Amino acid sequence: MARLPLLSGHVLALLLLVYLTLLHLSGLLLFTRGFLLSRLALPNIAPSTPNTTLPPTHSRAIVIIIDALRWDFLAPSPPAPPSPYHHNLAAHDPSRAFLFHSYSDPPTATLQRLKGLTTGSLPTFIDIGSNFHSTSIKEDNLILQLASSPRFGRRAFMGDDTWLSIYPDSFTPNLTSPYDSFNVEDLHTVDAGVTSTLLPLLSSQLPPGTPAESQPFQFLIAHYLGVDHVGHRLGPDHPAMRAKLLQMDSVLRQVVALLQEDTLLVLLGDHGMDPKGDHGGDSVLEVSTTTFLYSLGPALRTLPSPLPAALTPHTTYPGSPSRARSIQQIDLVPSLSLLLGLPIPFNNLGSIIPELFWRPGALESALRLNAQQVWAFLCAYRESGSGKELDDAWDGLERAYVTAKSVGRPVPSSGSTDGGEQARISINMSFAFVRQALETCRALWAQFDVVLISLGLAVLLLSCLALGGLYSSLARGRAVWEEVVRQALGAALGGAVLGGALAWGAGRALGPEAGKIGLQELVLFGASAGSALLLLLTTVLPNNLPAPTRKWDFDSLLAATVVALHAASFTSNSFILWEDHVVPFLLLTLLLPTLLRAPSAPTTHLQYRLLGFPLLLAACIRLMSISTVCREEQHPNCHVTFYASSTLPVSPQLVLLLALPSAWRVLQISKSDRGLAPLFLEYGLRASLLAGSAYWLIEQLESWRGLNPARIPGLKDIRMVLARVVLSCTLVGGYSTWALAPPCVEMRMSEPEGELDKPPRERKRQLIVLGYTNSYGSLYLLFVLVFYALTGQVVMVLFAVALLSHLETTDSVRDVEMLDMSAIAALDPTAPAPTGPQRAYPAPKMVEIVLLALLGHLLFFATGHQATAFIGFKVLTYPYSAILVVLNSVGALFLSALCVPLLAMWQVSPVLKTQEGRVYASVGCAACAAWLRRHLMVWKVFAPRFMLSGITLIVIDLGLILAVGVGSAVTSNKIRRMFGTAP
């Protein structure tokens, strides 16, 4: 505190920005801890040895999955009153057929359920360790175990193509018939297709008694989608549902008729559906599904005595008159593995289904294997990088396992499971241990922490409010802004210490009652919330700053509306899906008033400028928005127009034609207005742009079919050299030119207050000055330009043009205001002459900054990103790709942050305003994600969008720090050189 007053202006500004970044980081951290469930996917594969397997009861298996088969569709005792549209299964043989109510872990979406159904693990938002880009499963799983066993050489698959996206190479190619799962409108195509493949395949089986190896298939998955589609379209209580279920019933009857004795039949639903027929959340109806097992040959259950009650939990389906035997859906994984003589997949957390092993000796050994496998997994997980997660629960787990093991050991081969009391205890203990492991992991990985989520939201919201308060007091006290910032920083520091201490005290006092929230998180929250609160208080409390001068005019209202609309659009998954179209729409909305007001500008020249530049800007926005990659959900209304050359063999002709001229053209625009651009801008920039285009052209050439690249030696090297030359040229050449160039930027800052007294020619020169700054802005562009493929370059050039037009528009608007002022002053000499720094250089308006922020957003989409794909990049060919990848993905946003000072001449308050807009968006996004955390689309839409906006916020913060830090340092150096004094 004592040293603060000695700090100069831009160090203060930097400190403030760093503080705000930290505040945002802590809010995001808290929120993320509660919201994003993560788990480490271990790469271990369970070995197949006699110690890990049981003798198989069946040598073949048929798994029929009926998507969204809710429990009451099949339940023997359906809820009262029974729906007339549902269908009830006939009575069955209790030793060969088993019907279970099964609990499927949320999110109840097909992809997540299929992962759970094959790995036996719990779904989380991020499975760390797996490849982010592809959806294929790398963990140990049932399908992988099948594929690596010689006994299951022919694996057939038919139905929902989701399977092939997670197991691309696990099924025998000529036995695979995938169907598109996307068209929910279509109720019958998939089902008819599956049936028409399934029944002939079953009929083609060789007669019973043939060795299983020579049968046409050893393992078969048939995935029906009709029930799910009927649910989505018409809901569960509709005549069509009954028809569909009857159709499924007839399929099942035909399959059973064709079933052979060595084959195990499993019929299951992957999840249920809510009363409207949707699924994805964790309501009882969505997680209640059905599992049905049928063994024509060997009886799975031979012991007459009842199973221990602890092993057979029951549950009551809502409205049902009686309780139903209930299992966890993932229990199928160990059960199926052991019945087929395979090892249990390494990451499995399910326990075996006791009914299927209720034979002499079988249950105990099965549970022993199960417990061993789960223990091995827990140990491996604990040794991994994320092992700390298990710390709290470790003692309990270890005790449970040791007990189960020690009880089991004295009678390793007791012969009869039924008899020994010891064996009974051992069974109970092992089962209890496996269930305890499941519950522990579920608490760790599969539960949102609402308290942490709210704490994070509170910090973000407070930071937002504090930022608003700070902005307003900075806007009011612009003359003494250093004093304001100093005060604010002091308050923030004090608040942080106070809040942190309070939270620490509270955490200590509460002790273990604080629940899952650790002391660190509590202190983090206390410190950030305290500092934000105190900061807010200092800005709100009465002070000696002048009253706000600018009232809410139409433009500010419009800008606020647009920001609010953007934030509100995150409540709907549709708007997030189409955000690449929403953003240009909002941008145009911002531009329209300027366009409409153009004819009322005082001079013809300004009228033309105000019509021309916004139109040019609008055209650039529209052209940029043409370039996009599509999300899966946008199909079939979207076509990929962003071509990354590495993935396309044929070059997009239009883009090739456009690339060079537009690169040339943008520089003419940036130069034409001024005429005093230094040498670098004239040649260096152009050369780098051309070289950048050439780089991608060569890459296009290499993949062109008509050309044999091998014949041209060193083509690749040329490309590589080009890329590096461009990089070093822009980095070294560009930035050194910028740093050494004469300080024309300060013309406006050094201007005296009496702006109005100057002749118009003087004002004209300001335009030149501003434009000159702009051409420096294009250096920022160059910096990231080379990281984009050819289409990206065209888009970047468009962005440059858009940026320049935006600045020109802004400038013209300011000129109009200036002229209006002078006109009023001339007409009415008694009017108070506008004084003070506000008039000397008008502060950027909210609308201008919001526009810039949205422009950056648009650039993000136009350079080939979609909000879900932000982390799956294409691989770049040259080294040091880590930085490049980061720049490629967030460069667009970074860029827009860097450009803010162009509007503002290194002022602090507008920078804050940008942050504020960003924070609103992030808070809106986070709040929606939290609110809709049970929504169907949370995994696919809301959570990725939240992550994107969190990253965006931080990137913008860093960009602003860089812009203000480096930019203002260079600028003030120049001023010093020019005037010989500090500013």
Partner 1 sequence: APSPFPLPRYASVLGPHTVLLVFSLIYLPRSSELFFPLPPPTSSLDHPQPKWMEPITAAPVWTLFWVVLGVWGCLGAWAGSVRRWAKSIGIADSSSDWMVCAIIPACSFLSLVICTPIYFVLVVLFGAPYSSYLVHTLLLSILLSLLTAYVPCYVLPPPRQDSSTSSLVLRYQWTRLFSEFLTKSPLERILVYPGVGTLIGAWAGAAPIALDWDRPWQAWPLTPAYGAVLGYIAGSYAALLTSGMLYFAAQ
**Smallest distance, partner 1 to C-beta of residue 192, A:** 18
Nearest-angstrom CA–CA distance, 806 and 614:
7
Q: Are strands 219-224 and 155-160 parallel, antiparallel or unpaired?
A: parallel
Interface with partner 1 (CB under 8 A), residue from 103, 578, 780, 799: 578
Q: Give the nearest distance from C-beta 622 to partner 1 in angstroms.
A: 5
Of 910 and 944, nearer to partner 1 (C-beta) is: 944
Interface region with partner 1, contact rule CB under 8 A, candidates 526-534, 621-629, 671-679, 826-834: 621-629
d(CA 549, CA 566): 28
The interface region with partner 1, picked from 46-54, 263-271, 507-515, 580-588 by CB under 8 A, is 580-588
With respect to partner 1, which residue has the nearer C-beta, 233 or 325?
233
- Least distance from C-beta 892 to partner 1, angstroms? 19
CA distances from 402 to 396, 825, 958 (A): 10, 90, 51
- Which span sits near partner 1 by CB under 8 A: 376-384, 620-628, 849-857, 970-978? 620-628
Residue 242 touching partner 1 (CB under 8 A): no
Rounded to a whole number of angstroms, the minimum distance from the CB of residue 273 to partner 1 is 15
The sign of the CA dihedral 749, 752, 754, 759 is negative
Q: What is the CA radius of gyration of the chain?
A: 34
Nearer to partner 1, 240 or 540 (CB): 240
SS3 string, 385-427, reads CCHHHHHHHHHHHHHHHHHHHHHHCCCCCCCCCCCCHHHHHHH
| Whether the Cβ atoms of residue 137 and residue 130 lie closer than 8 Å to each other | yes
State how far the Cα of 229 lies from the Cα of 112, in Å rounded to an integer: 18
Give dist(CA 395, CA 21) in Å, integer: 39
C-alpha 288/C-alpha 274 separation (Å) is 10
Contact stretch for partner 1 (CB under 8 A) within 77-85, 352-360, 398-406, 617-625? 617-625
Closest-CA residue to 194 (of 340, 98, 67): 67
Cis peptide before 81 (omega within 30 of 0): yes
The least CB distance from residue 467 to partner 1, in Å, is 29
- Shortest Cβ 599–partner 1 spacing (Å): 4
Binding residue (CB under 8 A) for partner 1 from 8, 131, 543, 574: 574
Stretch that binds partner 1, among 137-145, 568-576, 731-739, 861-869 (CB under 8 A): 568-576
Among candidate residues 132, 133, 134, 141, the one with its CA nearest the CA of residue 114: 141
Which stretch in 287-295, 304-312, 576-584, 818-826 sits in contact with partner 1 by CB under 8 A? 576-584
> Is residue 12 involved in binding partner 1 (CB under 8 A)?
no
CA 446 to chain CA centroid, Å, is: 17
Output 147 or 588, the one with its CB closest to partner 1.
588
Contact 630, 643 (CB under 8 A): no
Cα dihedral sign for 322, 325, 327, 332? negative
Among 453, 400, 390, 463, CA closest to 429: 400
CB of 248 to partner 1, least distance (A): 19
By CB under 8 A, name the one of 399, 622, 665, 976 that touches partner 1: 622
Q: Which is nearer to partner 1, 77 or 589 (CB)?
A: 589
Q: Which residue has the tokens 């946003």?
A: 893
- 115 token code pair: 């992962």
Nearest partner of 919 among 476, 575, 481, 563, judged by Cα: 563
Q: Is 599 in the site for partner 1 (CB under 8 A)?
A: yes
Residue 852: C-alpha distances to residues 268, 311, 520, 677 (Å): 52, 62, 37, 24
Q: 70 near 85, Cβ under 8 Å?
A: no
CB 645 within 8 A of CB 699: yes
Question: What b/e string do you get for 896-921 counting C-beta neighbours within 10 Å, with b at 16 or more?
Answer: bbbbbbbbbbbbbbbbbbbbbbbbbb
Supply the minimum distance, in Å, between the C-beta of residue 673 and partner 1. Answer: 24
In the bound state with partner 1, the residue whose beta carbon lies nearer, of 767 and 851, is: 851
Provide, rounded to whole angstroms, the least separation between the CB of residue 614 and partner 1: 10
Q: CB neighbours (10 Å) of residue 2?
A: 5
Q: In this complex, which beta carbon is closest to partner 1, that of residue 172 or of residue 634?
A: 634
User: According to CB under 8 A, which residues from 660 to 679 bind partner 1?
Assistant: none
User: Between the CA of residue 211 and those of 60, 207, 255, 419, what are the distances in Å?
Assistant: 10, 10, 20, 36
Write the interaction track for partner 1 spanning residues 171-190; mark x where CB under 8 A is met and - where it is not.
Answer: --------------x-----
DSSP conformation letters of 647-664? T-SS--HHHHHHHHHHHH
Name the minimum Å distance from CB 823 to partner 1: 14
- Contacts with partner 1, 377-406, as mask; x by CB under 8 A: ------------------------------
Report residue 479: phi and psi, to 5°. -65, -35
According to CB under 8 A, which one of 234, 307, 701, 951 is a site residue for partner 1?
234
Q: Which stretch binds partner 1 (CB under 8 A): 475-483, 496-504, 618-626, 911-919?
A: 618-626
Tokens representing residue 276 in the block: 């409207």
CB of 606 to partner 1, least distance (A): 13
Tell me if 600 contacts partner 1 by CB under 8 A.
yes
Residue placing its CB nearer to partner 1 in the complex, 231 or 456? 231
The mark string for 194-233 relative to partner 1 (x by CB under 8 A, - otherwise) is ---------------------------------------x
- Look-up: residue for tokens 């809410």? 552
Choose the stretch contacting partner 1; rule: CB under 8 A; options: 26-34, 388-396, 590-598, 959-967: 590-598
For 178, phi then psi, to 5°, come to -80, 155
Residue placing its CB nearer to partner 1 in the complex, 414 or 589 = 589
Q: Is 573 in the site for partner 1 (CB under 8 A)?
A: yes
Kindly tell me which residue out of 151, 424, 442, 597 binds partner 1, with binding defined by CB under 8 A.
597
613, 828 contact by CB (below 8 A): no
For the chain, how far is it from start to end, CA to CA, in angstroms? 23
**CA-CA distance, 795 to 144, in Å (whole number)?**
44
Q: Which is nearer to partner 1, 36 or 626 (CB)?
A: 626
Q: How many residues does the chain have?
A: 983
Choice between 235 and 297, CB closer to partner 1: 235
The structure tokens 């393992």 sit at 219
> How many residues at the interface with partner 1, by CB under 8 A?
28
Binding of partner 1 at residue 851 (CB under 8 A)? no
Out of 575, 664, 735, 841, the only residue in the binding site for partner 1 (CB under 8 A) is 575
CB closer to partner 1, 489 vs 616? 616
Pick 280 or 743: Cβ nearer partner 1: 280
Closer to partner 1 by CB, 27 or 944: give it: 944
- Nearer to partner 1 among residue 46 and residue 798 (C-beta): 798
Question: Of 346, 332, 335, whose CA–CA distance to 139 is shortest?
Answer: 346
Question: Applying CB under 8 A, does 588 fall inside the site for partner 1?
Answer: yes
Query: Which of residues 578 and 642 has its CB atom nearest to partner 1 in the complex?
Result: 578
The C-alpha angle with vertex 342 and arms to 341 and 346, in degrees rounded to 5, equals 150
Q: 225, 369, 582, 898: which one contacts partner 1 (CB under 8 A)?
A: 582
* Residue from 498, 558, 619, 747 binding partner 1 (CB under 8 A): 619
590 near partner 1, judged by CB under 8 A: no
- Sign (positive/negative) of CA torsion 471, 472, 475, 481? negative
Q: Measured from the CB of residue 881, what is the shortest distance to partner 1 in angstroms? A: 34
Which residues here bind partner 1, judged by CB under 8 A?
185, 233-234, 240, 572-575, 577-578, 581-582, 584-585, 588-589, 596-600, 618-619, 621-622, 625-626, 633
